[in-house]
Structure 1
């Protein structure tokens, strides 16, 4: 049994892009992948288009930004409940910058979250703005990356 507060996650990633000759050449295989977690819909994934992937599928870069955005959202809602702020709407248009290193690799250098939040009463706006800082402190995913995660939040009533 894991220690108190320790959580384990498991998923299965399967390459489905063998076109009949495996990886016999760089252009001979698709980057198609399925990602499965018991009890959840299968996620169809691939590489990003510049890396010979299928742009109609999720790619790792999309999923990293999505994980940061959703984690902040969920942490933020908790922070608002704790502060007595009633959130009625939340939408985030998140962006990220990844830089290739010229050696076949690269890394994200930043992600910017742009939450647009609506609260039930104008008197809650200040506390709602402060809750973004608390949410960032609580976000497991933001605490796990080695690049800055910026926040450009707008809160209205």
Structure 2
């Protein structure tokens, strides 16, 4: 890892009516539009979905890191993040974010270590740590292949 601080940059370009073109150095353009809940087309990524995707992706990458350091032998991880957008006072914000994680390990003896590392991943996830909404982690460890 490079020494901190890290800097990131994205740019958004748009015309009056079309989807947004979101770019970052060395990455393909991402088309973004409002979700159907805001009368958008619902066929493009929305800022709301991108925020939840950032939480889920950061969690899985954080888990990979802590599991690698701890030398946990795991087989597969699935992570789903759901968010509730609501109005609080006069502002709309995500009031609740639930991350559901299922981890598959090969042996029952790995379950305690796996559960500990799944919780550790939430603690070190920089995206989740940057959000003010209430966050919940639901984990499941499955033995099998």
Q: When the two structures are superposed, what TM-score results if normalisation uses the length of structure 1?
A: 0.83
In structure 1, what is the Cα distance between the partners aligned to 2:125 and 2:109?
Answer: 26
Cα shift at 1:119: 1.5
Map 1:127-146 → 2, pairs under 5 A: 127-146=113-132
In structure 1, what is the Cα distance between the partners aligned to 2:5 and 2:79?
Answer: 29
In structure 1, what is the Cα distance between the partners aligned to 2:117 and 2:74?
Answer: 11
Q: Number of residue pairs matched?
A: 141
In structure 1, what is the Cα distance between the partners aligned to 2:106 and 2:12?
Answer: 42
Q: Is the 8 A contact 1:77 1:87 kept in 2?
A: no
The aligned counterpart of 1:93 is 80
Other structure's SS at 1:114 match = strand
Other structure's SS at 1:10 match = coil
Cα shift at 1:102: 7.6
In structure 2, what is the Cα distance between the partners aligned to 1:87 and 1:109?
Answer: 32
Q: 5+ residue gaps in structure 1?
A: 19-28
Cα shift at 1:101: 4.5
Structure 1 counterpart of 2:49, from 47, 59, 62: 62
In structure 2, what is the Cα distance between the partners aligned to 1:53 and 1:102?
Answer: 25
The answer to whether the aligner puts 1:149 opposite 2:96 as a matched pair is no
In structure 2, what is the Cα distance between the partners aligned to 1:102 and 1:123?
Answer: 48
The aligned counterpart of 1:117 is 103
Q: When the two structures are superposed, what TM-score results if normalisation uses the length of structure 2?
A: 0.89
In structure 1, what is the Cα distance between the partners aligned to 2:54 and 2:105?
Answer: 24
Q: Is the 8 A contact 1:79 1:131 kept in 2?
A: yes
The aligned counterpart of 1:26 is none
Larger-gyration structure (1/2): 1
Structure 1 runs of 4+ aligned residues shifted over 6 Å read: none
Other structure's SS at 1:153 match = strand
Q: What is the CA RMSD across the aligned residues, in angstroms?
A: 1.6
Other structure's SS at 2:132 match = coil
Other structure's SS at 2:126 match = coil
